[in-house]
Amino acid sequence: YYLLPGHEDTWSRVLASFTDITRQKQAEERLKAYQGCLEEKVARRTRQLDMTSKDLSREIERRKESQEKLKQHYQTEKHLRQELEGQIKQRVEFTRALVHELKTPLTPLISSCETLASHASDTTVKHMAETILAGGKAINQRIDELMDVARGEIGMLKMHFHQCDLKKVAMETGEYMSSAFKTKKQSFNIEAPEPSISVNIDSKRIKQVIINLLDNAYKYTPRGGRVVLRVYKKADHGVVEVEDNGLGVSDIVQKRLFNSTCATGPDSYAVKGMGLGLVLSKMLVDLHGGKIWVKSTGKGSTFGFSLPIREAE
Ligand code: ADP
């Protein structure tokens, strides 16, 4: 209560109320601080986004450049591939023409020698005709091998798969070759313990491989030597092996035998023939999903190959 000046006779009354606003002030301070922090965060994030968008633009540029380079590489590769295909085509055409040129005079030569060998009464003439005939046939086979290897190298070797018995194929081939071993007084045996081995193969081509292995055993085993043709099952594979007790094959030569550069490589002096037969044999076995190998330690050697036992699809 108090007296107002000029109204000293009247008590005046003032009613006051006090509120503690400390908390409100603190809350306001906190809000301010939070807002400041938020602004700082937004500014930082904006800076980051700015950088990211710059990085992104740089990345897009980089990718564009890579894409351009890739396009150029693709064009170069396409050009090279077309060039290579052209060269392969030319090579195939050339080999085909060469084979034709070589074979044309051989055909009458072989048939004339066959007639001469069967009709000649004079033993010397007969012997000479037989020698020329054998030579002509060998050249003919070499030309066929050359053509097959050329075809195989570019994936043009045609195969005719059919279901058959590997044991039968091997035995027929062995019997066909058996007379050759007699001429060198070599013993020749066939070991085939299984009743049958069912495989899906091109039997003509597999016969070709077996003939090559037997022919090598015959050539590189001296007179009176021993050759064995073996055919058996091993797990899910049919195996054909030709073992001889002939000259054997050194480790260096073994590594190169199935390689097409064998005949022209630095160790080619160690290889006696042209070295096409085994290259072709490997190609043919590979096309059957099989494996071919040689084992030779010291005297003699064993050449073998395996083919998956597979039923016809
Ligand atoms: P070619 O018999 O026409 O030379 P191959 O590819 O069949 O062609 O053989 C390559 C080489 O491997 C032969 O020249 C020979 O040196 C060696 N070779 C192959 N088979 C035998 C073998 N049974 N014994 C010893 N050497 C062999």
Residue 129, burial from CB neighbour count under 10 angstroms (0-12, 13-18, 19+): buried
- CA-CA-CA-CA torsion sign (134, 137, 142, 145): negative
Ligand 1: nearest atom to the Cα of 248? 25
* Distance in Å, CA 254 to ligand 1 centroid: 10
- Distance from C-alpha of 20 to C-alpha of 5, rounded to nearest angstrom: 32
Q: How far is the CA of 275 from the centre of ligand 1 (A)?
A: 6
Output the pLDDT for position 16. Answer: 84
Contact (CB, 8 A) for 277 and 294? no
Nearest protein Cα to ligand 1, atom 21: 216
The secondary structure of 221-280 as a DSSP string is S-TT-EEEEEEEEETTEEEEEEEE-SS---HHHHHHTTSTTGGGSTTGGG--S---HHHH
DSSP at 170: H
How far is residue 202's CA from residue 161's CA, in Å, rounded to a whole number? 4
**Distance of alpha carbon 155 from alpha carbon 148, whole angstroms:** 10
Q: Is the CB of 300 under 6 A from ligand 1?
A: no
Residue 304 has a pLDDT of 98
Is the pLDDT at 306 greater than 90? The verdict is: yes
Nearest CA residue ID for atom 2, ligand 1: 273
Whether residue 75 has pLDDT greater than 80: yes
Mean pLDDT for the stretch of residues 28-36: 94
Q: With a 6 A CB cut-off, is 277 part of the ligand 1 pocket?
A: yes
- Residues 253-303 have pLDDT tens digits of 888 888 865 544 444 444 455 578 999 999 999 999 999 999 998 789 999
| Secondary structure percentages of the chain, helix, strand, coil, to 5 | 60, 15, 25
Whether 246 is in the pocket of ligand 1, judged by its Cβ within 6 Å, is yes
Q: Of all protein residues, whose CA lies closest to atom 17 belonging to ligand 1?
A: 271
When pLDDT is averaged across residues 85-93 and rounded to a whole number, the result is 86
The neighbour count for residue 99, using CB atoms within 10 Å, is 15
pLDDT at position 311 is 63
| Res 151: pLDDT | 85
Residue 48 has pLDDT above 70, yes or no: yes
User: Could you report the per-residue pLDDT of 157-182, keeping only the tens digit for each?
Assistant: 889 999 999 999 999 999 999 999 99
Query: Which residues of the chain form beta strands (DSSP E)?
Result: 2-4, 7-12, 162-165, 187-191, 198-201, 226-234, 237-244, 291-295, 301-308
pLDDT number for residue 261:
59
The proportion of the chain whose per-residue pLDDT surpasses 70, expressed as a percent, equals 94
Q: Helix or strand or coil: residue 145?
A: helix
Q: Which atom of ligand 1 is nearest to the CA of 280?
A: 6
Please tell me the least confidently modeled range out of 92-106, 117-131, 187-201. 92-106
Predicted pLDDT at 29: 94
pLDDT above 70 for 203:
yes
Can you tell me the distance from the alpha carbon of 90 to that of 94, in angstroms, rounded to the nearest whole number? 6
Give the separation between CA 139 and CA 106, rounded to whole angstroms: 8
Distance 128 CA to ligand 1 centre (A): 26
Is the CB–ligand 1 distance for residue 129 below 6 Å? no
Give me ligand 1 centre to Cα 139, in Å: 16
| pLDDT the model gives residue 12 | 82
Q: For the chain, how many helices (H) and strands (E)?
A: 6, 9
Ligand 1 neighbour 232 (Cβ under 6 A): no
Average pLDDT over residues 81-98: 88
Question: What is the rounded distance in angstroms from the CA atom of residue 276 to the CA atom of residue 304?
Answer: 17
Q: Find all residues with CB under 8 Å of 304, minimum gap 6, and list them.
A: 230, 239, 240, 241, 242, 292, 293, 294, 295
Is the Cβ atom of 220 under 6 angstroms away from ligand 1?
yes
Residue 265 is predicted with a pLDDT of 46
Question: Rg of the chain's alpha carbons, rounded to an integer?
Answer: 45
Distance (Å) from CA 282 to ligand 1 centroid: 13
Q: What is the mean pLDDT of the chain?
A: 90
